[in-house]
Copies of this chain bind each other. A is one copy, B any other.
Amino acid sequence: MSDHDTPSRPVPTMRDIAAAAAVSQSTVSRVLSGVPTAVPIAPQTRQRVLQTARELGYRPNPLARGLRGAATNLIGAVVRDFSDPFFAGAIEALVVESMGHGYNVVLGHAPGRTGKGAVSLTTVLETRHTDAVVLLGAMQEHPKLLTELRSSVVPVVALWPGIGPHDFPTVDADDRAGIRAGLSHLESLGHRRIAFVNAELPGNYRVRVEAYADFMRERFGAVPPGYVEQCPNTLAGGDAALRRLLAHPEPPTAVATSTDLVAVGVLHAAHSLGATVPDRLSVVGFDDILIAAHTVPALTTLRMPIAEIVGHAVAQAVGLTREPAGSPRRTGHKVFAPALVVRDSTAPLMATTPGV
Protein backbone atom coordinates (compact mmCIF):
# COMPACT_ATOMS: atom_id res chain seq x y z
CA MET A 1 0.00 0.00 0.00
CA SER A 2 3.00 2.29 -0.29
CA ASP A 3 2.03 3.34 -3.78
CA HIS A 4 0.73 6.56 -2.32
CA ASP A 5 3.79 8.19 -3.82
CA THR A 6 4.19 6.89 -7.35
CA PRO A 7 7.87 6.78 -8.28
CA SER A 8 7.38 7.74 -11.94
CA ARG A 9 5.14 10.72 -11.63
CA PRO A 10 2.59 10.48 -14.37
CA VAL A 11 2.62 14.03 -15.61
CA PRO A 12 5.69 16.28 -15.52
CA THR A 13 5.35 19.80 -14.21
CA MET A 14 7.31 22.92 -14.90
CA ARG A 15 9.48 22.14 -11.92
CA ASP A 16 10.57 18.91 -13.56
CA ILE A 17 11.43 20.71 -16.75
CA ALA A 18 13.33 23.30 -14.79
CA ALA A 19 15.37 20.69 -12.96
CA ALA A 20 16.15 18.80 -16.15
CA ALA A 21 17.10 21.90 -18.07
CA ALA A 22 19.02 23.47 -15.20
CA VAL A 23 17.02 26.65 -15.12
CA SER A 24 14.45 28.08 -12.76
CA GLN A 25 10.79 27.25 -12.96
CA SER A 26 9.92 30.81 -13.81
CA THR A 27 12.19 30.73 -16.82
CA VAL A 28 10.40 27.64 -18.00
CA SER A 29 7.12 29.43 -17.61
CA ARG A 30 8.31 32.40 -19.59
CA VAL A 31 9.60 30.24 -22.42
CA LEU A 32 6.52 28.06 -22.65
CA SER A 33 4.05 30.87 -22.26
CA GLY A 34 5.43 32.20 -25.47
CA VAL A 35 4.88 35.80 -24.52
CA PRO A 36 7.58 37.48 -26.61
CA THR A 37 7.28 41.02 -25.32
CA ALA A 38 7.55 40.23 -21.65
CA VAL A 39 11.14 39.51 -20.77
CA PRO A 40 13.97 38.57 -23.11
CA ILE A 41 15.17 34.98 -22.99
CA ALA A 42 18.50 33.86 -24.38
CA PRO A 43 17.92 31.88 -27.58
CA GLN A 44 19.96 28.92 -26.41
CA THR A 45 18.13 28.79 -23.09
CA ARG A 46 14.82 28.89 -24.88
CA GLN A 47 15.89 26.05 -27.14
CA ARG A 48 17.11 23.96 -24.23
CA VAL A 49 13.87 24.42 -22.33
CA LEU A 50 11.71 23.67 -25.34
CA GLN A 51 13.75 20.58 -26.06
CA THR A 52 13.50 19.33 -22.49
CA ALA A 53 9.78 19.98 -22.37
CA ARG A 54 9.31 18.04 -25.54
CA GLU A 55 11.36 15.13 -24.26
CA LEU A 56 9.48 14.90 -21.00
CA GLY A 57 6.15 15.25 -22.75
CA TYR A 58 5.14 18.31 -20.78
CA ARG A 59 1.55 19.51 -20.88
CA PRO A 60 0.46 22.69 -19.15
CA ASN A 61 -2.12 22.28 -16.43
CA PRO A 62 -5.07 24.49 -17.36
CA LEU A 63 -6.39 24.34 -13.81
CA ALA A 64 -3.30 26.00 -12.42
CA ARG A 65 -3.15 28.41 -15.30
CA GLY A 66 -6.75 29.40 -14.85
CA LEU A 67 -6.43 29.72 -11.10
CA ARG A 68 -3.70 32.27 -11.45
CA GLY A 69 -6.08 34.39 -13.49
CA ALA A 70 -4.82 33.53 -16.93
CA ALA A 71 -6.81 31.84 -19.66
CA THR A 72 -8.60 28.55 -19.07
CA ASN A 73 -8.87 27.88 -22.79
CA LEU A 74 -12.46 26.91 -22.26
CA ILE A 75 -15.37 28.12 -24.35
CA GLY A 76 -18.82 27.79 -22.86
CA ALA A 77 -21.51 26.86 -25.34
CA VAL A 78 -25.11 27.50 -24.43
CA VAL A 79 -27.36 25.45 -26.64
CA ARG A 80 -31.00 26.20 -26.99
CA ASP A 81 -32.23 22.92 -28.37
CA PHE A 82 -30.12 19.84 -28.82
CA SER A 83 -32.86 17.90 -30.50
CA ASP A 84 -32.92 20.32 -33.41
CA PRO A 85 -30.73 18.59 -35.99
CA PHE A 86 -29.66 21.98 -37.15
CA PHE A 87 -27.82 22.66 -33.93
CA ALA A 88 -26.19 19.26 -33.92
CA GLY A 89 -24.18 20.31 -36.94
CA ALA A 90 -23.41 23.62 -35.31
CA ILE A 91 -22.03 21.93 -32.22
CA GLU A 92 -19.78 19.73 -34.25
CA ALA A 93 -18.44 22.76 -36.09
CA LEU A 94 -18.01 24.56 -32.80
CA VAL A 95 -15.98 21.76 -31.27
CA VAL A 96 -13.75 21.39 -34.30
CA GLU A 97 -13.19 25.11 -34.68
CA SER A 98 -12.51 25.60 -31.00
CA MET A 99 -10.01 22.80 -30.83
CA GLY A 100 -8.32 24.34 -33.82
CA HIS A 101 -7.76 27.44 -31.72
CA GLY A 102 -6.63 25.40 -28.73
CA TYR A 103 -9.89 25.70 -26.85
CA ASN A 104 -12.26 23.14 -25.43
CA VAL A 105 -16.01 23.36 -25.21
CA VAL A 106 -18.17 23.02 -22.11
CA LEU A 107 -21.82 22.53 -22.76
CA GLY A 108 -24.69 24.35 -21.17
CA HIS A 109 -28.33 23.66 -21.80
CA ALA A 110 -30.94 26.37 -22.07
CA PRO A 111 -34.15 24.55 -22.85
CA GLY A 112 -36.94 26.53 -24.43
CA ARG A 113 -39.81 25.85 -22.10
CA THR A 114 -38.74 25.93 -18.50
CA GLY A 115 -36.35 28.52 -17.22
CA LYS A 116 -34.86 26.16 -14.72
CA GLY A 117 -32.00 25.11 -16.91
CA ALA A 118 -30.77 28.62 -17.39
CA VAL A 119 -30.13 29.25 -13.73
CA SER A 120 -27.82 26.35 -13.17
CA LEU A 121 -26.34 27.15 -16.50
CA THR A 122 -25.28 30.62 -15.56
CA THR A 123 -23.77 29.22 -12.45
CA VAL A 124 -21.74 26.97 -14.61
CA LEU A 125 -20.42 29.64 -16.87
CA GLU A 126 -19.47 31.96 -14.07
CA THR A 127 -17.95 29.22 -12.07
CA ARG A 128 -16.05 27.46 -14.78
CA HIS A 129 -14.20 30.62 -15.69
CA THR A 130 -14.72 30.12 -19.37
CA ASP A 131 -12.73 32.48 -21.52
CA ALA A 132 -15.72 33.13 -23.71
CA VAL A 133 -19.34 32.16 -24.16
CA VAL A 134 -21.04 31.26 -27.40
CA LEU A 135 -24.83 31.38 -27.53
CA LEU A 136 -26.43 28.99 -30.01
CA GLY A 137 -29.94 30.09 -30.82
CA ALA A 138 -32.26 32.72 -29.47
CA MET A 139 -32.08 33.27 -25.73
CA GLN A 140 -34.95 35.69 -25.25
CA GLU A 141 -36.62 33.13 -23.05
CA HIS A 142 -33.78 33.43 -20.58
CA PRO A 143 -33.58 37.08 -19.61
CA LYS A 144 -31.80 36.23 -16.38
CA LEU A 145 -29.07 34.48 -18.30
CA LEU A 146 -28.65 37.45 -20.60
CA THR A 147 -28.55 39.88 -17.72
CA GLU A 148 -25.84 37.95 -15.97
CA LEU A 149 -23.84 37.62 -19.14
CA ARG A 150 -24.13 41.34 -19.77
CA SER A 151 -22.74 42.21 -16.38
CA SER A 152 -20.03 39.60 -16.72
CA VAL A 153 -16.55 40.29 -17.99
CA VAL A 154 -16.61 37.24 -20.22
CA PRO A 155 -16.86 38.02 -23.93
CA VAL A 156 -20.03 36.69 -25.48
CA VAL A 157 -20.85 35.95 -29.10
CA ALA A 158 -24.41 35.16 -30.11
CA LEU A 159 -25.23 32.90 -33.05
CA TRP A 160 -28.64 32.99 -34.68
CA PRO A 161 -29.74 35.37 -31.95
CA GLY A 162 -33.21 36.11 -33.24
CA ILE A 163 -34.61 39.60 -33.25
CA GLY A 164 -32.68 42.46 -31.65
CA PRO A 165 -31.50 44.56 -30.06
CA HIS A 166 -28.39 42.71 -29.02
CA ASP A 167 -25.69 43.76 -26.64
CA PHE A 168 -23.30 41.16 -27.90
CA PRO A 169 -21.56 40.64 -31.20
CA THR A 170 -23.77 38.42 -33.32
CA VAL A 171 -23.25 36.14 -36.27
CA ASP A 172 -26.28 35.23 -38.25
CA ALA A 173 -27.60 34.21 -41.61
CA ASP A 174 -29.18 36.77 -43.87
CA ASP A 175 -32.67 35.45 -43.29
CA ARG A 176 -34.33 38.10 -45.37
CA ALA A 177 -32.18 37.43 -48.41
CA GLY A 178 -32.65 33.70 -48.01
CA ILE A 179 -36.43 33.88 -47.83
CA ARG A 180 -36.53 36.20 -50.83
CA ALA A 181 -34.35 33.82 -52.82
CA GLY A 182 -36.69 30.94 -52.05
CA LEU A 183 -39.81 32.94 -52.88
CA SER A 184 -38.27 34.29 -56.08
CA HIS A 185 -37.52 30.74 -57.07
CA LEU A 186 -41.18 29.79 -56.56
CA GLU A 187 -42.36 32.87 -58.39
CA SER A 188 -40.11 32.09 -61.34
CA LEU A 189 -41.77 28.69 -61.49
CA GLY A 190 -45.10 30.42 -61.96
CA HIS A 191 -46.43 30.16 -58.43
CA ARG A 192 -48.60 32.95 -57.08
CA ARG A 193 -50.52 31.31 -54.27
CA ILE A 194 -47.53 30.91 -51.98
CA ALA A 195 -48.17 30.24 -48.31
CA PHE A 196 -45.73 30.36 -45.41
CA VAL A 197 -45.32 28.02 -42.47
CA ASN A 198 -43.48 29.78 -39.69
CA ALA A 199 -41.85 27.89 -36.84
CA GLU A 200 -42.61 29.95 -33.80
CA LEU A 201 -39.64 30.31 -31.52
CA PRO A 202 -39.98 33.24 -29.17
CA GLY A 203 -37.75 35.98 -30.41
CA ASN A 204 -36.55 34.06 -33.39
CA TYR A 205 -37.55 33.41 -36.98
CA ARG A 206 -39.74 36.47 -37.00
CA VAL A 207 -37.44 37.99 -39.56
CA ARG A 208 -38.24 35.16 -41.90
CA VAL A 209 -41.99 35.51 -41.81
CA GLU A 210 -41.68 39.26 -42.11
CA ALA A 211 -39.48 38.85 -45.14
CA TYR A 212 -42.21 36.66 -46.60
CA ALA A 213 -44.88 39.27 -45.91
CA ASP A 214 -42.80 42.04 -47.44
CA PHE A 215 -42.11 39.97 -50.52
CA MET A 216 -45.75 39.13 -51.04
CA ARG A 217 -46.85 42.72 -50.62
CA GLU A 218 -44.15 43.89 -52.97
CA ARG A 219 -44.96 41.44 -55.74
CA PHE A 220 -48.66 40.78 -55.39
CA GLY A 221 -49.90 43.78 -53.47
CA ALA A 222 -50.90 41.92 -50.36
CA VAL A 223 -50.39 38.87 -48.20
CA PRO A 224 -53.18 36.42 -49.01
CA PRO A 225 -55.35 36.10 -45.89
CA GLY A 226 -54.87 32.85 -44.03
CA TYR A 227 -51.65 32.06 -45.85
CA VAL A 228 -49.39 32.36 -42.82
CA GLU A 229 -49.41 29.48 -40.38
CA GLN A 230 -47.56 29.56 -37.08
CA CYS A 231 -46.48 26.26 -35.53
CA PRO A 232 -43.94 24.82 -33.13
CA ASN A 233 -40.56 24.10 -34.66
CA THR A 234 -41.17 20.37 -34.85
CA LEU A 235 -42.08 17.81 -37.44
CA ALA A 236 -45.54 17.49 -35.96
CA GLY A 237 -45.92 21.25 -36.09
CA GLY A 238 -45.23 21.40 -39.80
CA ASP A 239 -47.53 18.47 -40.39
CA ALA A 240 -50.46 20.17 -38.66
CA ALA A 241 -49.76 23.51 -40.30
CA LEU A 242 -50.02 22.09 -43.79
CA ARG A 243 -53.29 20.39 -42.93
CA ARG A 244 -54.69 23.77 -41.95
CA LEU A 245 -53.37 25.40 -45.10
CA LEU A 246 -54.87 22.79 -47.39
CA ALA A 247 -58.24 23.34 -45.76
CA HIS A 248 -58.11 26.90 -47.06
CA PRO A 249 -60.86 27.75 -49.61
CA GLU A 250 -58.13 28.66 -52.06
CA PRO A 251 -55.31 26.34 -51.06
CA PRO A 252 -51.75 27.40 -51.95
CA THR A 253 -49.81 25.80 -54.77
CA ALA A 254 -46.52 26.34 -52.98
CA VAL A 255 -45.38 26.54 -49.39
CA ALA A 256 -42.27 28.14 -48.03
CA THR A 257 -41.19 27.41 -44.49
CA SER A 258 -38.91 29.02 -41.95
CA THR A 259 -37.06 25.78 -41.10
CA ASP A 260 -36.32 22.46 -42.72
CA LEU A 261 -37.72 20.72 -39.69
CA VAL A 262 -41.23 21.97 -40.32
CA ALA A 263 -40.69 21.50 -44.05
CA VAL A 264 -40.14 17.80 -43.46
CA GLY A 265 -43.35 17.75 -41.47
CA VAL A 266 -45.06 19.49 -44.37
CA LEU A 267 -43.81 16.84 -46.77
CA HIS A 268 -45.15 14.17 -44.48
CA ALA A 269 -48.59 15.75 -44.27
CA ALA A 270 -48.68 16.37 -48.01
CA HIS A 271 -48.05 12.72 -48.63
CA SER A 272 -50.75 11.70 -46.18
CA LEU A 273 -53.26 14.02 -47.81
CA GLY A 274 -52.41 12.96 -51.34
CA ALA A 275 -51.07 16.38 -52.28
CA THR A 276 -48.20 15.07 -54.38
CA VAL A 277 -44.97 17.01 -54.08
CA PRO A 278 -43.90 18.65 -56.30
CA ASP A 279 -46.68 18.03 -58.83
CA ARG A 280 -49.52 19.51 -56.84
CA LEU A 281 -47.54 21.32 -54.19
CA SER A 282 -44.09 22.87 -54.17
CA VAL A 283 -42.19 23.09 -50.86
CA VAL A 284 -39.17 25.18 -49.91
CA GLY A 285 -37.34 24.69 -46.62
CA PHE A 286 -34.68 26.67 -44.82
CA ASP A 287 -31.37 25.53 -43.27
CA ASP A 288 -30.42 22.52 -45.41
CA ILE A 289 -30.13 20.13 -42.53
CA LEU A 290 -28.45 16.84 -43.15
CA ILE A 291 -31.62 14.99 -44.02
CA ALA A 292 -32.91 17.55 -46.49
CA ALA A 293 -31.13 15.94 -49.41
CA HIS A 294 -32.79 12.61 -48.68
CA THR A 295 -36.38 13.36 -47.89
CA VAL A 296 -39.16 12.12 -50.17
CA PRO A 297 -38.87 14.01 -52.40
CA ALA A 298 -35.53 15.71 -51.80
CA LEU A 299 -36.09 19.14 -50.36
CA THR A 300 -35.41 22.42 -52.09
CA THR A 301 -34.04 24.70 -49.41
CA LEU A 302 -31.65 27.45 -48.41
CA ARG A 303 -28.26 26.24 -47.31
CA MET A 304 -27.16 27.68 -44.01
CA PRO A 305 -23.42 28.37 -44.04
CA ILE A 306 -22.88 26.77 -40.65
CA ALA A 307 -19.15 26.31 -40.97
CA GLU A 308 -18.60 29.93 -41.93
CA ILE A 309 -20.88 31.22 -39.19
CA VAL A 310 -19.40 29.11 -36.45
CA GLY A 311 -15.87 29.66 -37.68
CA HIS A 312 -16.36 33.40 -37.65
CA ALA A 313 -17.92 33.27 -34.21
CA VAL A 314 -15.09 31.26 -32.69
CA ALA A 315 -12.48 33.47 -34.27
CA GLN A 316 -14.26 36.50 -32.89
CA ALA A 317 -14.66 34.99 -29.44
CA VAL A 318 -10.99 34.10 -29.32
CA GLY A 319 -10.11 37.56 -30.51
CA LEU A 320 -12.23 39.20 -27.83
CA THR A 321 -10.49 37.06 -25.25
CA ARG A 322 -7.19 38.66 -26.08
CA GLU A 323 -8.48 42.18 -25.57
CA PRO A 324 -7.73 43.93 -22.30
CA ALA A 325 -10.32 43.40 -19.60
CA GLY A 326 -11.45 46.97 -19.39
CA SER A 327 -12.25 47.51 -23.04
CA PRO A 328 -15.83 48.35 -23.93
CA ARG A 329 -18.06 45.58 -25.15
CA ARG A 330 -18.15 45.20 -28.91
CA THR A 331 -21.44 44.72 -30.67
CA GLY A 332 -20.58 44.05 -34.29
CA HIS A 333 -23.08 42.09 -36.35
CA LYS A 334 -21.86 39.77 -39.06
CA VAL A 335 -24.19 38.23 -41.59
CA PHE A 336 -23.68 35.38 -44.02
CA ALA A 337 -25.89 34.76 -47.03
CA PRO A 338 -27.68 31.40 -47.44
CA ALA A 339 -27.57 29.78 -50.86
CA LEU A 340 -30.57 28.36 -52.69
CA VAL A 341 -30.32 24.62 -53.24
CA VAL A 342 -32.85 23.41 -55.80
CA ARG A 343 -33.84 19.78 -55.40
CA ASP A 344 -37.04 17.88 -56.18
CA SER A 345 -39.67 19.47 -53.96
CA THR A 346 -40.28 22.39 -56.27
CA ALA A 347 -41.65 22.31 -59.81
CA PRO A 348 -43.33 24.68 -62.29
CA LEU A 349 -46.95 25.44 -61.60
CA MET A 350 -49.07 23.01 -63.57
CA ALA A 351 -51.46 24.57 -66.04
CA THR A 352 -54.22 22.32 -64.78
CA THR A 353 -54.06 23.73 -61.30
CA PRO A 354 -57.35 25.47 -60.54
CA GLY A 355 -57.45 29.17 -59.89
CA VAL A 356 -54.99 31.94 -60.78
Spell out A's residues near B (CB within 8 Å).
1, 3, 10-11, 59-64, 66-67, 72, 74, 82-83, 85, 87-89, 91-92, 95-96, 99, 104-109, 117, 120, 123-124, 126-129, 153, 235-236, 239, 264-265, 267-268, 271, 290-291, 293-298, 326
Q: How far is the CA of A3 from the CA of B324 in the complex (A)?
A: 13
Per the bound structure, the CA–CA distance linking A268 and B236 in Å amounts to 20
Given contacts A59-B127, A62-B127, A67-B67, 20 further A-B contacts (CB under 8 A): A1-B326, A59-B123, A63-B63, A63-B66, A63-B67, A64-B67, A74-B106, A82-B91, A82-B95, A83-B92, A85-B88, A88-B91, A99-B117, A99-B120, A104-B124, A235-B293, A236-B293, A236-B294, A271-B297, A295-B295
Report the separation of the CA atoms of residues A11 and B67 in the bound assembly, to the nearest whole angstrom: 13
Bound-state CA distance A343–B241 (Å) is 21
User: Which chain B residues lie closer than 8 Å to A264 at the CB level?
Assistant: 291, 294
Closest chain B residue to A294, Cβ basis: B235
A sample of 30 inter-chain contacts (CB < 8 A) reads A10-B153, A59-B127, A61-B67, A61-B129, A62-B127, A63-B72, A82-B89, A82-B91, A82-B92, A82-B95, A83-B89, A85-B85, A85-B88, A85-B291, A88-B88, A88-B91, A92-B109, A95-B108, A95-B109, A99-B109, A104-B106, A104-B128, A106-B106, A106-B107, A236-B293, A236-B294, A264-B291, A264-B294, A295-B296, A296-B296
